[in-house]
Amino acid sequence: MIADLHIALAVLAVMLALFVTNRLRLDLVALLGLLALVLSGVLSTEEALAGFSDPVVLMIAGLFVVGAGLFRTGVADAMGRQVERLAGQGVHRLTLVIMLVTAFLSAFLSSTGTVAVMLPVVLAIARRRRISPSRLLMPLAFAALLGGMLTLIGTPPNLIVSTQLAQAGLEPFGFFSFTLPGLVMLALGTASMMLLAPVLVPERRGHDEDDNEPSWSELFGEYGLSDRIACLDVPAGSPLVAANVTSSELRSAHGVTVMVIVSQTERGRFVHRAAPDTVIHAGDSLYVIGKEDDVAAVAAKFGLKRVAGRVELPRPVSVVDALVPPRSEFIGQSLRQLRLRSGLGATVLAQRVAGQPGEPVDLDRPLGPGDALLLTGGSRSLQRLSRGRSRLVLLADTEREQDLDWRKAPLAIAILLAMMLTMTFGWVANVTAVMIAAVALVLFRCVSMDQAYRSINFESVILIAAILPMATALDKTGGLGMAADALMDLTGAAGPLLLMAALFIFTAGLSQIVSNTATTVLVAPIAIHAAMGLGVNPHAVLMTVAIAASSAFATPVASPVNTLVLSAGGYRFTDFARVGIPLQLVLLLATLLVVPVLFPL
């Protein structure tokens, strides 16, 4: 037994180290840990696979489908578009409305999906109001986390602690058990953000001078391209004549991106986007992006004439920026591998690593979460980039409504309300209610089966399913009992409030560097053991763990929503710590005051 405990602790330590370094995907780390426990004999095959049939895993998968139904029918989008109408003119009122609307959406949808919907809306408001995005995007991200505290389905940690109670033979949390403490946390968090953000977060990005989306020149300035655009005329004798954009190899071999081709014909002047098969003719003007030396080399090699003076992009060329969201299928792939121009008709002009200045395109650098890309392409091409499983989040309105089935919105809302009522009154098991809602959304064509599968974040599902057996291993080998005993020895004499405080600090701290889902899976069993050993109400202790797990405010990597706003808001790593740590202290004090009242110790 002692040897098995040492193996289990060693596997856990390696997993935590890999989680922190982020060198491997979270789900892969969890699967490696699961295999290590099986191969070492600590867990049987049946025990190792039990996580994949756990109700919480199926519920989370089903909730992704429910969220997709609300997104696809325009329910979430419609709420996002009401923000500016309700906000008035003041920045404080605007911040308040953004946080409340975001929190409400996040109570029923994934926090990452909520921020993905709200991010372009908030950026557009910031541009029209001439407000720095940094004033609004951190409140947006934190509101999504606070909103997850409001309902049982708001965030995976809530489901995990409820399941932990049921497994211990206790009454699980109901659908609205989190609502009262969550409302207190939301109220205090919103008030704190309205006070702290203007003081502690500087205006890191300037505003636009007009009421529309940023111009191409402003975006080029943000990405460091202002001095990298050139216009090259193609004479009759150039080797490029009759070649297409792909066969010319200007981008792949010479590092020069052809953005636009302007042709002069008898019928007039025509502006073409540089598609892979666009043919270059004599007399064309190529608008290109590249380093000065590369552009000069291309001009010399192909006999092109460079147009002198300041270059202005011809209309109607559109340029937008986009973010790579956490868990996007693009993460880990290079632009050369993705072949966005040939496959989806969009061209990446520049890229920016999260929190760093812009840089020219590097076709071979793997993309990471939070990276920003400067794109050009048609509306339909850009829309295809934002579809599917968390591909890109466009930071401009590109006619999203054309892909939404607004007629099914009332039906999607009715299905959501029916699911909530069923879970509240316990007519069927929670997992059954969620699965019925997911299937109903598909049957009534609020979301297609393909869209339902694409909406499921399998990284989260596999992560939970593979890491749940770690708690079984620690329980089986006596590790949970030892951890609970140590916690009781540390806090027992001082009373239950110290136990709650210790669990909050540990859970919130670990959640800054490790997935809050994984943190909750590991901490919840220890917490319930300690609570029952000290005779403290387990509901109060596990509610504390759930709130702490959602307090992922202090680092940009603590939550996917923080990573998502990092680049768009121009934030630095320390910005999150300056605002997030005081906010965590506020929630800690509120938890110690409110939770014992609602769940008597």
Predicted confidence (pLDDT) per residue in 157-191, tens digit:
999 999 889 988 899 998 889 999 999 999 999 99
Is the pLDDT score of 576 beyond 70? yes
454 and 546: one domain? Answer: yes
More confident residue, 148 or 483: 148
Lowest mean pLDDT among 211-225, 246-260, 365-379: 211-225
More confident residue, 532 or 397: 532
pLDDT at 590: 95
Mean pLDDT over 193-221 rounds to 66
Final residue of a structural domain among 272, 306, 340: 306
The per-residue pLDDT of the chain, averaged, comes to 82
Residue 105 lies in a domain: yes
Residue 239 lies in a domain: yes
Q: What would the two tokens of residue 294 be?
A: 């590369």
531 and 423: one domain? Answer: yes
pLDDT at 399: 46
Three-class secondary structure of residue 597 per DSSP: helix
387 and 490: one domain? Answer: no
Lowest mean pLDDT among 31-40, 111-120, 376-385, 469-478: 376-385
Residue 94 lies in a domain: yes
pLDDT at 342: 61
pLDDT at 207: 40
The answer to whether residues 563 and 556 touch, using CB atoms and an 8 Å cutoff, is yes
DSSP 317: -
346 and 290: one domain? Answer: no
232 and 138: one domain? Answer: no
The answer to whether residues 144 and 561 touch, using CB atoms and an 8 Å cutoff, is yes
9 and 120: one domain? Answer: yes
Is the pLDDT score of 210 beyond 50? no
Q: Which residue in 106, 32, 161, 72 sits closest to 470, CA to CA?
A: 32
Q: Which residue in 180, 248, 229 sits closest to 539, CA to CA?
A: 180
CA gap 357, 288 in Å, rounded: 21
Q: Which residue in 545, 527, 530, 525 sits closest to 469, CA to CA?
A: 525
Q: What is the pLDDT of residues 43-89, one digit of tens each?
A: 899 988 888 888 878 888 888 888 888 877 877 777 766 776 777 66
CA gap 434, 60 in Å, rounded: 9
Residue 260 lies in a domain: yes
pLDDT at 206: 42
Q: What is the CATH number of the domain that holds 338?
A: 3.30.70.1450
Final residue of a structural domain among 306, 335, 370: 306
pLDDT at 67: 82
Residue 85 amino acid letter: R
Q: What is the pLDDT of residues 508-533, one digit of tens each?
A: 888 887 778 888 888 888 888 888 88
235 and 125: one domain? Answer: no
Mean pLDDT over 375-397 rounds to 68
Query: What number of other Cβ atoms are within 10 A of residue 308's Cβ?
Result: 7
Is the pLDDT score of 266 beyond 70? no
Final residue of a structural domain among 362, 396, 430: 396
Res. 316 pLDDT band, cuts 50 70 90: low
Q: What would the two tokens of residue 366 be?
A: 């793997």
pLDDT at 211: 45
Q: Which residue in 481, 559, 562, 579 sits closest to 198, CA to CA?
A: 579
89 and 19: one domain? Answer: yes
370 and 252: one domain? Answer: no
Q: What is the pLDDT of residues 427-477, one digit of tens each?
A: 888 889 889 999 999 999 888 888 888 778 787 788 888 888 887 888 788
Q: What would the two tokens of residue 380 be?
A: 């339909």
Res. 315 pLDDT band, cuts 50 70 90: low
264 and 150: one domain? Answer: no
Taking each continuous run of H as one helix and of E as one strand, the counts in the chain are 27, 10
Mean pLDDT over 472-487 rounds to 77
Q: Which domain holds residue 475?
A: 2-205+412-598
pLDDT at 204: 61
Q: Which of 49-58, 330-339, 388-397, 454-463 has the highest mean pLDDT?
A: 49-58
256 and 347: one domain? Answer: no
CA distances from 441 to 70, 75, 76, 404, 510 (A): 9, 13, 15, 14, 36
Domains of the chain: total: 3
Residue 315 lies in a domain: no
The answer to whether residues 510 and 495 touch, using CB atoms and an 8 Å cutoff, is no
pLDDT above 70: percentage of residues in the chain: 88
Residue 38 lies in a domain: yes
pLDDT at 180: 94
Q: Which of 95-99, 143-147, 269-273, 446-450 has the highest mean pLDDT?
A: 143-147
Residue 34 lies in a domain: yes
- Cα dihedral 295, 224, 339, 276, rounded to 10, equals -40
Is the pLDDT score of 401 beyond 50? no
515 and 468: one domain? Answer: yes
Q: Which of 56-65, 205-214, 565-574 has the highest mean pLDDT?
A: 56-65
Residue 200 lies in a domain: yes
Exposure string over 437-452, b if 16+ CB within 10 A, otherwise e: bbebbbeeebbeeebb
CA gap 267, 510 in Å, rounded: 66
The answer to whether residues 584 and 508 touch, using CB atoms and an 8 Å cutoff, is yes
Lowest mean pLDDT among 36-45, 477-486, 530-539: 477-486
